[in-house]
Every structure is written in structure tokens, then in C-alpha cells.
Amino acid sequence: MKNIMQEAQKLQAKLMEELQKIKVEGSAGGGMVVIEMDGQQNVISVKIEPQVLEEKDISMLEDLVLAAFNDAKTKVADKTKESFKTITGFPLPT
């Protein structure tokens, strides 16, 4: 039983290490808004093309930021699943 717990802790540490390496970009509006996110779903940066601001359409900007965030979050989830499967040999439980 002790060996199983030690193995589980090693796998968890390795997975956390892999999550720290993940960096993704989510975008919307053809790259008008780009959000960079890490493997722990922390937003690292937000880039907004000046053209979006020139239009002064706050509602559109809000929609683009939301879409870019959701795109980045989906990409982090996909990368996390890949890392989990690579490390354990099993798909990530849902």
C-alpha cells in the first residue's frame, strides 16, 4: 500500500511539473484579441489590437475577450489531458 501511495505522489509531482511547462494562446476575432494562459489556467497576458479600440464597440470587445479566454482555457484542458495520458498511460478521468 505504501508503494502505491509513493507512486501516486511521484505521478502527481510529474504532472504538476508538466502543467508548469504548458503555455497556450487563445484568440478571437482573427487574432484581434489574444490571451496567453499557463497550465494552471492563470492568464499571463492579454493583447488587444488597436483597431478593436478604434471601433469603440465595448460590447464587441467584451465578446472577443470572453471568446479568447474560453479558447485558451479549452487549449489548456486539451494539453492537460495529453500530459496526463503521456505520464500515466490512461486518459484523464472526467
14 within some domain: no
43-78 pLDDT per residue, tens? 999 999 999 888 888 999 999 999 999 999 999 999
Tell me the whole-structure pTM to 2 decimals.
0.80
Q: What is the CATH number of the domain that holds 57?
A: 3.30.1310.10
4 within some domain: no
Q: Quote the CA–CA distance of 59 and 91 in Å, as a whole number.
A: 39
pLDDT in the model for residue 94:
65
Domain that holds residue 51: 23-88
17 within some domain: no
58 within some domain: yes
**Residue 90, pLDDT above cutoff 90:** no
Cβ neighbours for 39, distance < 8 A, ≥ 6 positions apart: 18, 19, 20, 21, 22, 23, 76, 79, 80, 83
18 within some domain: no
Q: What is the total count of domains within the chain?
A: 1
6 within some domain: no
